[in-house]
Amino acid sequence: MSELDDLPEFLQRLMASAADLPLRHRMQERTETARRSAVLILFGEGPSGPDVLLIEKSAHLRTHAGQPAFPGGGVDPGDDYPVGTALREAQEEAGVDPAGVRVLGTLPELFLGPSDNLVVPVVAWWEKPTEVVVGDPQEVARVARVPLAELVDPANRYRLKHPVGFLGPAFAVADMEVWGFTAGVLEAVLEAAGLARPWDTTDVRPLDLDKARPDRVPGSVGEHGTEDSAAPTVADHGQEDPAARTVPGR
């Protein structure tokens, strides 16, 4: 019996293909100054079926103000990176008790060139969910468990056009407009998990100038279908780059 057999089938499919996420990317060498970061992609069984935890950044932040995101952030001294970093951030930002979280594994690193961040997504299952709370209101405006059914609903999907012409996926869920890095990862994860449904990719909407940031969506493309030269990419896996891995349940 596999250690994942007791999980929902979509999570088994996701972890089986975790090493090769369907992110459109070019292999780009990370910089020596890249800041190590981690985000927690936390799935659970909510009142409306399987869901994923998202936060909305506070409007007071200097960067990414008001943007939906996965809980996460930069590595701190003493962190068991990347898992420890992701769990610590989720606890600080959304009140997630690490003791109730079963870490399943990590996805390939994503190098975000414009912000010089090397991000490792950590996938987990919320075995013992607790009520989500807003941690530091200076960093987080609200927390939401978003049903996967809403994320894959074609009516909630479209693409956003950056003022300089780049396009990326977006989701309108839980009174939030999810875009940028988070939307790119969500799109790839839903496809890998076998949950994605056909949607109207010709529905292109302008990105609010107040939300525009230099960060790009993984696999974003220009007006004429060319990839953004500064787009976040999956880091080239050398000896120091851990590939996707599965972590045994507790």
State the DSSP H helix or E strand holding residue 190, giving kind and residue range, or none if neither. helix 180-192
Nearest-CA neighbor of 193 among 7, 11, 4, 8? 11
**Mean pLDDT of the 227-250 span:** 36
Q: Which of 63-67, 167-171, 225-229, 239-243 has the lowest mean pLDDT?
A: 225-229
pLDDT at 33: 84
HEC readout, 120-146:
EEEEEEECCCCCCCCCCCCCEEEEEEE
The pLDDT tens digits for 66-112 are: 689 999 999 999 999 999 999 999 999 999 999 999 999 999 888 87
More confident residue, 225 or 100: 100
CA angle 149, 153, 159 (to 5 degrees): 130
What is the full DSSP assignment across 63-98? SSTT-EE-SEEE--TT--TTHHHHHHHHHHHH---G
Judge residue 91's burial from the number of C-beta atoms within 10 Å of its C-beta, 0-12 exposed, 13-18 middle, 19 or more buried: middle
The pLDDT tens digits for 124-160 are: 999 999 888 898 777 888 999 999 999 999 999 999 9
Does the predicted model carry a pTM greater than 0.75? yes
Specify the CATH number of the domain 9-231: 3.90.79.10
Q: Which of 138-147, 187-196, 241-250 has the highest mean pLDDT?
A: 187-196
* DSSP label at residue 28: B
Residue extents of the structural domains in the chain: 9-231
